[in-house]
């Protein structure tokens, strides 16, 4: 299987308006709504340096990033604006003390209204793909059906209980329902401009107050329930 880089294989046109879609900002944190098509951090190539983190660094040179979203995924991305805030966020992600909710539109209609996928995952050497592997790292994803739609797709609410690379994408592929528009794991469809996966909410304890706070990014139209 040929190697495909996260920032290769597409026409890479990250949006520039707005430069940063800021959901929240204080002395510790900046939380943005990262658009699909923009890298979370710079790529390896010289022409792949534009990213959410690069843009934040232009205004906040001491900012540090603790988590990422795939380039093709939109939604909530939180960045510590100084080292203490970054260490606080790091600890929460490492201890799985954050709560993340995603929305995904998948191909087909899952049989169950909800479920828990517990399949170990392994990153393929030299590639940005992951596979189910009994010798891989334990990985868990809870899903809930939000709507089954007439176009043979289903809107799912996803709760990743672990944070493996491409976890949601590979778990849903293993379930038999890949994410619509997923260029790595779903059938190609030139009519679909992006992968329909969105980080809808992120709940973390604030670095200073230590009180849990929830940040939300509104989903695009195709990731809204037809039954709402």
Short-list 32, 38, 30, CA closest to 14: 38
Report CA torsion sign: 102, 107, 111, 117. Answer: negative
CB 210 within 8 A of CB 202: no
Is 113 among the residues known to form the active site?
Answer: no
- CB atoms under 10 Å from CB of 205, counted, come to 16
Please report the beta strands in 74-174, taking only residues with DSSP state E, as ranges in sequence order: 74-80, 99-107, 114-117, 121-123, 130-132, 141-149, 153-160
Concatenate the DSSP letters of all residues of 148-166 into one string: EETTTEEEEEEEESS--TT
**SS3 of residue 105 by DSSP:** strand
Which one of the listed residues 7, 50, 70, 133 is annotated catalytic? 70
> Annotated active-site positions, please?
70
């Amino acid at each position: 299987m040929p190697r495909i880089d996260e920032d290769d294989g597409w026409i890479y046109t990250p949006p520039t308006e707005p430069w940063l879609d800021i959901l929240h900002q204080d002395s510790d944190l900046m939380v943005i709504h990262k658009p699909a098509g923009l890298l979370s951090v710079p790529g390896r190539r010289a022409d792949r340096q534009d990213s959410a983190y690069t843009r934040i660094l232009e205004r906040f040179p001491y900012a540090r990033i603790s988590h990422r979203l795939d380039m093709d995924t939109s939604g909530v991305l939180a960045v510590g604006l100084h080292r203490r805030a970054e260490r606080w966020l790091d600890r929460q992600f490492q201890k799985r003390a954050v709560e993340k909710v995603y929305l995904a539109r998948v191909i087909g209609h899952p049989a169950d209204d909800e479920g828990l996928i517990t399949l170990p995952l392994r990153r393929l050497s030299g590639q940005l793909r992951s596979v189910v592997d009994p010798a891989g790292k334990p990985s868990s994803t809870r899903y809930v059906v939000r709507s089954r739609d007439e176009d043979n797709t289903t809107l799912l609410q996803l709760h990743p209980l672990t944070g493996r690379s491409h976890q949601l994408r590979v778990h849903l592929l293993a379930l038999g329902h890949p994410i619509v528009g997923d260029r790595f794991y779903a059938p190609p469809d030139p009519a679909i401009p992006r992968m329909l996966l969105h980080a809808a909410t992120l709940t973390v304890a604030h670095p200073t107050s230590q009180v849990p706070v929830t940040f939300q990014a509104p989903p695009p139209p195709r990731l809204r329930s037809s039954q709402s």
